[in-house]
Amino acid sequence: MSYYRHHVFFCLNQRDNGEASCSQHAAQDGFARCKAKVKEAGLMGPGGVRVNKAGCLDRCAGGPVAVVYPEGTWYTYVDEQDIDEIVESHLKNGQPVERLLLAPDVGR
C-alpha cells in the first residue's frame, strides 16, 4: 500500500503573458475547498488523502484541472458542488465522477 490512498494535485498555474491558465478559473478556490472537505470528512493524512498545489500540468485548455493518483484520473470542475462530488464519490467512495472527467485529448 502506498503512503496515501489518493494524492490530488490542483493546477494553480498563472501565466503572465495572457495565455490561458487554471488560475484564471478560480483554481485556488477549488484547491481550498477540496482540502477543507477532505479534512472535514476525516480523510486527510497517511493512509488517506493528500491535497497538493501544483504548477502547470499542461492541460490548460480544460482548466481548471486536478488529477487524482494513483489512478491518474483527470478532472475539470466549475464550482464547489463539483469539488464536493469529487471528494464524496471518488476520494471517499472510490468511484470516479464520470461527468467531470477531462477528455484524454485535452492539452495545452
**Residue linked to cell 485529448:** 105
Please report the pLDDT score of residue 1 as a whole number.
64
Mean of the pLDDT values across residues 84-103? 97
83 membership: H or E segment, kind and range: helix 80-85
* Top-confidence residue, 62 or 86: 86
Please report the pLDDT score of residue 59 as a whole number.
94
pLDDT range class, residue 89, cuts 50, 70, 90: very high
Please report the pLDDT score of residue 2 as a whole number.
82
Total domains, the chain? 1
Residues 19, 87: Cα–Cα separation, whole Å = 30
Residue 29: CB partners within 8 Å, gap ≥ 6? 80
pLDDT range class, residue 9, cuts 50, 70, 90: very high
Summarised one tens digit per residue, pLDDT across range 16-71 is: 887 888 998 899 999 999 999 999 999 999 999 999 999 999 998 898 999 999 99
108 within a domain of the structure (yes/no): no
105 within a domain of the structure (yes/no): no
pLDDT range class, residue 108, cuts 50, 70, 90: confident
107 within a domain of the structure (yes/no): no
Cell of 41: 470528512
List the CATH number of the domain containing 30: 3.40.30.10
Cβ contact 55:69 at 8 Å: no
Query: By residue range, what is the domain housing residue 14?
Result: 6-100
